[in-house]
Amino acid sequence: MPQPRPVYEFNSIIVRTPSQSVVNGLRADDRGNPTFEGVKAEHDAYIGAMREAGVKVTVLPALEAFPDSIFVEDPALVFTEGAILLRPGAATRVNETKEIEPALREMFDTVLDLPGTGYADGGDVLTTRESVMIGLSARTDKAGAEALRSCLDRLGRKSEIVATPEGVLHFKTDCSLLDDETVLSTNRLARSGVFEKFRQVIIPEGEEAAANALRVNDVVMVGADFPRTIEMLDKAGYKVVPLKTTEIGKIDAGLSCMSLRWFNCGKGV
């Protein structure tokens, strides 16, 4: 029998050009506004790294009315089997779902709407070989997580609801998948026991923001501002691609939230 495709194998992604208004993006910890030029440069480098990793990049136009719309992972989820339109937990982002919907309906045969009234952000969702993990947070409530589970079930995906540490914006703020058996995690999230079925690589103290890395095909993209994490992963045998996240980090963002990633088996390729 053929081996199942690794969950980090992608050939298609969607990104959105940052708007001039991105400088007013949401942030829990105010470290000053990013510059538009800085965000654009980091986003351009991100797109370049994705193409280098072997994926087709679809670039959506900027949305000036939505400062955080560069972070396309929060209003939707995508899989080979189809897409799910989410309901972001921040009031200023709810209507981003309507903006991304036409592109998804064009690219996917199956597009599901999140039922009910709960909310769920894609930043709280980690797809692993065993299941799709949905972290409860300030942006994803129990009703939204349960509604998302019903959609995942319709796509034939197993799922589970887990806890996000207090004070952490999104579940994936503190973790990322390195391969099908290994998770990169902060110590505070690893202590919860949520990754007991995985090999765990713990982020060096003081570089917690590096936990939002991104495995795409043969490479692991990591924030360039985290040298100890980069060295650790390099020594562990991973092919690391450092990417600047200094400016997007000022608006509570990391690498995973800037794209929707999937393996396209036919439509649109």
Residues forming the active site: 170, 257
Contact by Cβ (8 Å): 122, 97: no
**For strand 239-243 and strand 219-223, is the pairing parallel, antiparallel, or unpaired?**
parallel
Instruction: Name residue 175's beta-bridge partners.
Output: 185
Contact by Cβ (8 Å): 229, 212: no
Q: How far is it, in rounded angstroms, from Cα 80 to Cα 181? A: 20
